[in-house]
A and B are shown apart, each in its own frame.
Chain A
Amino acid sequence: MTIRASIHHQNLDKIFYPESVAIVGANKVSGTVPNDILMSILHANFNGVVFPVSPREKFIAGVKAYKYVIDIEDPVDLAILVFPSSVCHMALEQCGKKGIKAVIIISAGFKEVGGAGIDREKRLIEIANKYDMSFIGPNCLGVINTDPRTRLNASFARKMPEEGSIGFLSQSGALCTAVLDYAQAKHIGFSKFISFGNKADISEIDLLYYLAEDEKTKVILLYLEEVSKGKQLMLAARDIIQRTGKPILVLKSGRTSEGASAAASHTGSLAGRDDICDAAFEQSGIIRCYDIEEMFNRAIALTYQPAPRSNKVAIITNAGGPGVLTTDAAIMQGLSLASFNETTSQLLKKHLPATANTKNPIDVIGDARADRYNAALSAVFNDPDVAGVFVILTPQSMTEIEDIAKEITVVSEQFDKPIYTSFMGESDVAPGIDILQRNKIPHYILPESMADAFATVWQFEQIKQKEWFHETFVDNVLFDKAHMVFTNVNAKNQTYITEDLSSEILQAYRFPLPQMKMIQSQQEALNVAETIGYPMVMKVVSNDIIHKSDVHGVTTDIRSPEEVRLAFQTMKFLMEQEAPNAALKGMLLVQQVEQGIEAILGIKHDPSFGHVMMFGLGGIFVEIYKDVCFKVLPITEQEAWEMVSSIKAAPLLKGARGTNPKDLAAIVDCMLKLNQLVIDFPQIKELDINPLIIHNEGKGCHVADAKIFINLQSELQSKKSKEKQ
């Protein structure tokens, strides 16, 4: 933990559980942020003392006001700054002098507006550092703590939400108010509700750790517009899930390039590539959600009900069609229908009419009243094969909507198995839904959402059980040899490493490369060809040519000395024509490897998550289907195997339609060597092995072409010093 993180850890309790709060910049004007925040605190029955601080008012809402925060005689735990941004630093400085350690800065006009706003935000950070203060914001809605011990609504949200077990963190303040309104309609409660704005000081990572320790929070939801410290977020999430078993659901906007651009202008942030974000979240156990409804559908399942012990569900419905829809949705989500034992079958037959379907999905028939639902529920809950129950209701003239909802509530309390409901419709079923929601029975408009929520909880159970391995190290490599190449390239101020030198690096790390040699003349080519043997490939090598095939710089399938001569002369001529300014280092003669499946294995450096490995099959698979997978480095051997299996074209590698299975172990071996290479040489900015030719099982694979781009050491050092600042 860094020093600042440790300070935040100490100060965060003062933000959520203060005994005294100063609203600095308060006024009497109803409908303004300073006044509304003061009123929110007063109306929420805050269990503490409130001090309005206003340059001009003596009293606000009957509460004595102070000109300056330093005028308050009593100690103050939390200050909420609502002054315009131009004077926030003055208020914060006084808070520091007063000894206040926890601050929420609501005011906007900082990093998000650029220019002078960036400097104003830096000034706040400097003051906070000087006094060991921690602040949330600026540019935020504020925070809410529903814990009855405190009941703090330090925000300008319209209402105090119900008490609950969901901790909600949001980078967007406006989204918070929409979420509060949405949640109120569904009786969804919160433990803590936090808008963290520009996260200039306290970040989402500090808040995640706080909620992890918060006994009132069972499930953590996070809305992010940018991931600025991806690696730290991953480590925090994995640590929290492992230690506390609390799920973390993240809604990350900016999925499209247009959306990312909007997010950047909105918060002054830089968005990373979305599929890398997906991979990183999956690697760290974060449940990624794609809209608010999906997030809350899953959150209520995780919060309200016990986790299922398996993926087997029983479906109870009073209508055939919805029963089929639910079955389809369940199967599509990887769930399966439970098989009832004899006792359950007998009970169902005994209590349901002859026309009812007593097999799963159970159809209690359209005229079913509460007693039939009760009988079916009790029977299936007792069945050992049933891990959870889906209850569907459609409103017929005789359907006892409210009674059935009450019955579900009563029966579910008797069993330690989850129950999810879908009362289909809107107007007629509304009173029943209200009963379910008030009693914390998850309700879903669509069976698909119900199945998704169950599957999410079940998958999270698997994540919790997952054994997290440490990264796999490869030690039989020639570090010094590779180091020498990197040093020489760096000394020449080159950022592109040509194929001959890239191959030297990869050879040092024991990658499977075909025989190859650089030549300078036609005669040398002929001599070397005898050593390497036919068929072979000839490639031009130049620091100025990155894409060799664009300048006809590659000739394959050379099978005789005559073809060597022809290739040499032709390529030299074409080079002079098509790239007259390129300095030719020579030609690379490479043994032509046997045919196999072509794959791409690469590394890129992501600004949020650091080095990321990419794997996919070549040709149309990558170009048209974009069938690639990513993992954030470092990876474990287990994750390398997951990469190989997770591409859609994996069946081709495993041997589909009578073809031989390919050497998957050789791919994994290359991945782990690549992982090690990047750990040892973090200056690698981009590395492409394209193609990696994969042979049949037991025959290995070959690197047929590779290129590496690096950051110069001087650039890295200047970047590091900027980060330190």
Chain B
Amino acid sequence: MTSTETTERVKKVVAQVLKIDASEIGDDSNFIFDLGADSMQSIQLVAAFEEEFDIEMDEDKALEVQNIADASSFIQSYLS
């Protein structure tokens, strides 16, 4: 899977979990500052990424990831 494909799928998941339009999400969008995720939604995002990509992430490290681009890279590291 290319990084672009991963990023697009990440955006799709984020849009679903945060209930926002995917067009509002940029590559550098910060989950909290730009997209308004609260702490519960941050945990939901981690779970949704794991399901979407069928991977199991280090939860503490995953919660430190702050934006779409970083999330995409983080997930890529599990896919490769």
Interface residues of A (CB under 8 A from B): 27, 29, 54-57, 83-84, 86-87, 90-91
Does B2 sit at the interface, judged by CB under 8 A?
Answer: no
| B8 nearest CB across to chain A (Å) | 21
Does B80 sit at the interface, judged by CB under 8 A?
Answer: no
Assess the A55–B34 pair: CB atoms within 8 A.
Answer: yes
Assess the A56–B33 pair: CB atoms within 8 A.
Answer: no
Bound together, the chains give a CA A29 to CA B39 distance in angstroms of: 13
Selected from B20, B30, B66, the residue in CB contact (under 8 A) with A56 is B20
Assess the B66–A55 pair: CB atoms within 8 A.
Answer: no
Pairs A–B under 8 Å by Cβ, sample size 27: A27-B36, A27-B38, A29-B38, A54-B36, A55-B32, A55-B33, A55-B34, A55-B35, A55-B36, A56-B18, A56-B20, A56-B35, A56-B36, A57-B36, A83-B32, A83-B33, A84-B32, A84-B39, A86-B32, A86-B66, A87-B30, A87-B32, A87-B33, A87-B66, A90-B30, A90-B33, A91-B33
Q: Which residues of A contact B34 (CB under 8 A)?
A: 55
Instruction: Report whether over half of chain A's contact residues are helix, strand or loop; otherwise say mixed.
Output: loop
- The 10 A-B pairs of least Cβ separation, nearest first, read A55-B36, A56-B36, A87-B33, A87-B32, A90-B33, A55-B34, A55-B35, A84-B32, A87-B30, A54-B36
Bound together, the chains give a CA A87 to CA B20 distance in angstroms of: 20
Residue among A29, A54, A55, A90 with most chain B CB within 10 A: A55
Q: What class of interface size applies to chain B in its complex with A?
A: 10 to 19
By beta carbon, the residue of chain A nearest B64 is A86
Q: Which residues of A contact B32 (CB under 8 A)?
A: 55, 83-84, 86-87
4 other A-B residue contacts (CB within 8 Å) besides A27-B38, A90-B33:
A56-B18, A56-B20, A57-B36, A90-B30
By beta carbon, the residue of chain A nearest B30 is A87
| B72 nearest CB across to chain A (Å) | 19
Q: Which residues of B contact A56 (CB under 8 A)?
A: 18, 20, 35-36
Q: Which of B37-80 contact A (CB under 8 A)?
A: 38-39, 66
By beta carbon, the residue of chain A nearest B31 is A87
Bound together, the chains give a CA A83 to CA B34 distance in angstroms of: 11
By beta carbon, the residue of chain A nearest B37 is A55
Bound together, the chains give a CA A54 to CA B35 distance in angstroms of: 9
Q: Which residues of A contact B35 (CB under 8 A)?
A: 55-56
| A89 nearest CB across to chain B (Å) | 10
A interface footprint on B17-35 (CB within 8 Å = 1, 0 otherwise): 0101000000000101111
Q: Which residues of B contact A87 (CB under 8 A)?
A: 30, 32-33, 66
Bound together, the chains give a CA A54 to CA B38 distance in angstroms of: 12
Q: Which residues of A contact B20 (CB under 8 A)?
A: 56
Residue among A29, A54, A90, A91 with most chain B CB within 10 A: A90
Q: Which residues of B contact A90 (CB under 8 A)?
A: 30, 33
Q: Which residues of A contact B30 (CB under 8 A)?
A: 87, 90
Q: Which residues of B contact A27 (CB under 8 A)?
A: 36, 38
By beta carbon, the residue of chain B nearest A91 is B33
| A163 nearest CB across to chain B (Å) | 36
Q: Which residues of B contact A54 (CB under 8 A)?
A: 36
Bound together, the chains give a CA A87 to CA B38 distance in angstroms of: 12
Q: Which residues of A contact B36 (CB under 8 A)?
A: 27, 54-57
Bound together, the chains give a CA A72 to CA B18 distance in angstroms of: 24
| B16 nearest CB across to chain A (Å) | 15
By beta carbon, the residue of chain A nearest B33 is A87
| B47 nearest CB across to chain A (Å) | 19
Bound together, the chains give a CA A87 to CA B36 distance in angstroms of: 11
| B69 nearest CB across to chain A (Å) | 15
Bound together, the chains give a CA A27 to CA B20 distance in angstroms of: 16
Bound together, the chains give a CA A56 to CA B24 distance in angstroms of: 10
By beta carbon, the residue of chain B nearest A34 is B38
Bound together, the chains give a CA A84 to CA B32 distance in angstroms of: 8
Q: Which residues of A contact B39 (CB under 8 A)?
A: 84
Bound together, the chains give a CA A87 to CA B39 distance in angstroms of: 13
Bound together, the chains give a CA A91 to CA B33 distance in angstroms of: 8
Bound together, the chains give a CA A91 to CA B39 distance in angstroms of: 17
By beta carbon, the residue of chain B nearest A56 is B36
Bound together, the chains give a CA A29 to CA B40 distance in angstroms of: 13
Bound together, the chains give a CA A435 to CA B66 distance in angstroms of: 57
Q: Which residues of B contact A84 (CB under 8 A)?
A: 32, 39
| A64 nearest CB across to chain B (Å) | 16
By beta carbon, the residue of chain B nearest A89 is B33
Bound together, the chains give a CA A86 to CA B36 distance in angstroms of: 13
